[in-house]
Amino acid sequence: MKLTLGFSPCPNDTFIFDALVHHKIDTEGLNFEVVLSDVEQLNKWAIDGKLDVTKLSYYAFTYCVNDYVLLDSGSALGHNCGPLLIKQPETTLTSESKIAIPGKYTTANMLLGIAFPEYQNKVETLFSDIENDLIEGKAEAGLIIHENRFTYQDKGLEKVKDLGEFWEEETQLPIPLGGIVVKRTLPLIIQKKLERVLRRSVEYAFENPNSSADYVQSHAQAMEKEVVDAHINLYANNYSVSLAEKGRKAVEMVFEKAEKKNSSVFIER
């Protein structure tokens, strides 16, 4: 059986999917047509129901939970890994300030809306362009995700607020950034098979950390190895193997904060 599979070229995604994509593990007869794209594009495709299996932001999941169900493995959750609101040191932010965000449906944007509801002048920007937009004066502040948290200070930018810390203080839960979902229309036996196969891929990645190096680096957009390694260490962790009880509570909290939920979030046991 062949399924369409979408995830981002970010190091934590290529790290956990390498073994699955390259059949280094038993995929139980499943084959995949892989589509790599920016997380916000994946979010929009998920809302349109384009892919069978896809990475998405947890906030985007609140818009398409009736069409997709969450896999227990593959998520990006954790502590001290949330989005950062940054600006130029001399900039004073007001409710009129233009804020560059990495996408309407990102969990980062949801958190910005909770922490700073007065900031409504938002412009959607590819996440990797946000730092330069601030430097060039195209926006007064930017909401950064992924590896940019490791590079913004080197570019002379400063942190306004760590929205991951804000979330953790508010909820006492890890920050749920993104997860892997599968279409509800696929038979339950296939959903559970996917859950097993993905967990196997994640476990293989942790047990053989050098095995995915070439695949990760080939999509790392000229990122330095130190940044790649820091990215993986931050966003790929025990929650990527299994959400466990605390991870599930964190995901449920996203739906509570977004005030959205119709269908059950998780695959039935």
pLDDT score for 234: 87
DSSP lists the bridge partners of residue 178 as 57, 76
pLDDT tens digit string along 107-149? Answer: 999 999 999 999 999 999 988 899 999 999 999 999 998 777 8
The reported pLDDT for the residue numbered 222 is: 63
Pairing state between β 76-78 and 99-101: unpaired
What pLDDT was estimated at residue 262?
65
Q: Which two tokens stand for residue 252?
A: 């449920």
Where helices occur in 76-127 by DSSP H, the ranges are 107-115
Strands 99-101 and 141-144, how do they pair?
Answer: parallel
Residue 29 pLDDT? 96
pLDDT of residue 112: 94
pLDDT score, position 1: 80
Residues of the chain scoring pLDDT < 50: none
For residue 61, give Cα distances in angstroms to 30, 106, 237: 24, 9, 21
Which residues are within 8 A (CB) of 52 and not within 5 positions of it... i.e. 6 or more apart? 3, 4, 5, 182, 183, 186
So which residues are the catalytic ones?
Answer: 146
Query: Where do the domains of the chain lie, and which CATH numbers do they carry?
Result: 2-78+175-258 (3.40.190.10), 84-171 (3.40.190.10)
Query: Which amino acid appears at position 79 of this protein?
Result: H
Tell me the C-alpha distance between 82 and 31, whole Å: 33
**pLDDT tens-place string over residues 170-193:** 999 999 999 999 999 999 999 999
Which residues face 100 on adjacent strands?
123, 142
